[in-house]
Amino acid sequence: MMEQTDFVRSFMTLAAALAVLIWIWWKRLVPANFPSGPSGLPLFGSIFSVGKYPWKTVKKWSSEKYGAVMSVRFAFKHIVFLNTYETAYQAWVKQGSEFSGRAFHAVLGSNSGNHGIILRDYEDVMKSQKQFGLKVMKGFGFGRTTLEEQINDEALKLTSVLRTKVGVPFLLKEYIHNSVLNVITRLICSKRVKSGEESELYNALKLLFTDPADKSMSLIILMFPEVRKLPFLSSIFKRYSSRDKFVHDYLAEQVREHKKTFDKHNLRDFIDAFLFEQMHGHRADRDDFTDKQLVSFCRDLLVAGNDTTRSSILSFILILLHYPEHAEKIHVEIDQVFGKDGMISMKERPKTPFTCAFIQECLRFYAVAPIGLEHKLTETTKFQGYVLPKNTPVNINYWGVHHDEETWPEPEKFDPYRHIDEEGNFVLSRKVITFSFGPRFCFGESLARVELYVFFVEILRKFDVLPGDKPLPSLNDGNVSTLFEPLPFQLVLRERK
């Protein structure tokens, strides 16, 4: 008996010593003069403590203990989070060349590799491709039809379909998804796609990040791509990769078709514009304009442009259902400026200050991309009194920036009037950073802003938007993947006379 007791005592002493050594080792993994943050559990970090909505937890930690610049450890990875506008602007803009790197993402890049634009590191090819993309977007359309006219056309098609739903509770998501998707496919390859089960492209994109079977587990492989091959996660990764490959294959077929009918004097869309650069652009750049790069670039446009815009429009409508007192003022502005019919022109947008304020407050209040894709340090950098080693992952907590009490008094209060000045004019805020800023700002911002305004105005011009039979989901809850999308909600439309 004495020997057993000695053995147990020795084992417990050894285990305690080992635990202390692991803890000391774990603590020493933090680089010197690095932003502070929760240590979390050895080997796991804060994986189990960030909760369902990590951006809210990180903001809480930032406000209560660690400050605007803090770190969070996930397994062996230390991510620096910026939680205020001032720190975000300092990093992304003033020190943009140091903070604009991007590490390869094994899940999102499983089919595109180091091609496209979103996942590329901050290097010359990425810069030249972005310049090209901006040039195309600045042209705002091809041939005889401007992109603004195409968006109006899709918005009219949408409201025409929605008329068949008047008076009946229904889900809006599929209709918005199809309309926004057609804006992007017309821009990319001059095609419209059918909705629902008739279109494999529609279904692949619809479920790419929001498959109900995956629930919140998809967020895990997106945050930690290294675990994608674990038995209980590999099926999620395979479903994502298969759908993503279908999107790539669809776009590759469009490129092949465009090459057969290419006419340098009649550029129809983005693919044609890219092919022109491939065949007739500056010789030094032609090596960057490959077919693989074109397909991946188009895939980035399709996925990023479709998901964020769809989710944003849905959030606008859900917010309006929660705050119906703002509807009448929006209706009055729309009727006075645009009437019942005719094209919704962005030139007339300043005449609708409250509508613009409502949209901007929606973008502040409900961040569909609460935490964007990580940046990484291109070199060891001094920042806000800290030393951040090269390749350190850094991210802006966009939700945290938009809910910072120093910038936005009573941030949890939805108030469009915070964007209206004393003369009743709309004030465009540089501190609503939905589209980011600095070298990696969203170059599709101009397109997205037109879509958000035109679709929202067209729906409100034609209909009163009312809640359905079922209770509305809370604005604090949503589906989480790469985005934060409203939970399914019913609405009822009443046609306006």
Structure confidence at residue 21 (pLDDT): 46
pLDDT band at 26 (very low <50, low <70, confident <90, very high): very low
**3-state secondary structure (DSSP) of residue 386:** strand
Structure confidence at residue 479 (pLDDT): 86
CA gap 399, 370 in Å, rounded: 5
pLDDT band at 22 (very low <50, low <70, confident <90, very high): very low
Q: How many residues does the chain have?
A: 497
Task: Kindly tell me if the per-residue pLDDT of 124 is higher than 50.
Answer: yes
Instruction: Average the pLDDT over each of 43-57, 246-260, 396-410, 452-466 and give the range with the smallest value.
Output: 43-57
CATH number of the structural domain 112-370+410-495: 1.10.630.10
Instruction: Average the pLDDT over each of 41-55, 124-138, 359-373, 374-388 and give the range with the smallest value.
Output: 41-55
In sequence order, what are the residues at sequence separation of 6 or more whose Cβ sits closer than 8 angstroms to the Cβ of residue 15? none
Structure confidence at residue 458 (pLDDT): 97
CA gap 59, 65 in Å, rounded: 10
Amino acid at residue number 186: R
Structure confidence at residue 25 (pLDDT): 42
The count of other CB atoms within 10 Å of the CB of residue 279 is 12
Task: Kindly tell me if the per-residue pLDDT of 179 is higher than 90.
Answer: yes
pLDDT band at 57 (very low <50, low <70, confident <90, very high): very high
Q: What is the mean pLDDT of residues 25-40?
A: 74
Segment holding 205, helix H or strand E:
helix 200-207
Residue 65 to residues 59, 73, 227, 352, 423: CA-CA distances in angstroms?
Answer: 10, 16, 30, 42, 40
pLDDT tens readout for residues 415-427: 999 999 999 999 9
The count of other CB atoms within 10 Å of the CB of residue 57 is 17
Backbone angles phi and psi of 217, in degrees to 5: -65, -25
In 377-440, at which residue ranges do the beta strands (DSSP E only) sit?
Answer: 381-383, 386-388, 393-396
Structure confidence at residue 8 (pLDDT): 55
pLDDT tens readout for residues 66-78: 999 999 987 778 8
Task: Kindly tell me if the per-residue pLDDT of 227 is higher than 80.
Answer: no
Structure confidence at residue 10 (pLDDT): 57
CA gap 420, 344 in Å, rounded: 22
CA gap 75, 331 in Å, rounded: 51
Backbone angles phi and psi of 277, in degrees to 5: -65, -35
Q: Between 4 and 188, whose confidence is greater?
A: 188
Taking all residues of the chain, what is their mean pLDDT, rounded to a whole number? Answer: 88
CA gap 168, 161 in Å, rounded: 13
pLDDT tens readout for residues 268-296: 999 999 999 998 877 556 678 999 999 99
pLDDT tens readout for residues 204-220: 888 787 776 776 677 77
pLDDT band at 106 (very low <50, low <70, confident <90, very high): confident
Q: Between 314 and 225, whose confidence is greater?
A: 314
Enumerate the domain spans of the chain. 112-370+410-495
The answer to whether 95 touches 74, Cβ cutoff 8 Å, is no
Q: Which two tokens stand for residue 61?
A: 């930690």
pLDDT band at 361 (very low <50, low <70, confident <90, very high): very high
Task: Kindly tell me if the per-residue pLDDT of 196 is higher than 90.
Answer: no
Task: Kindly tell me if the per-residue pLDDT of 23 is higher than 60.
Answer: no
pLDDT tens readout for residues 427-469: 999 999 999 999 999 988 989 999 999 999 999 999 999 999 9
In sequence order, what are the residues at sequence separation of 6 or more whose Cβ sits closer than 8 angstroms to the Cβ of residue 243? 204, 205, 207, 208
pLDDT band at 6 (very low <50, low <70, confident <90, very high): low
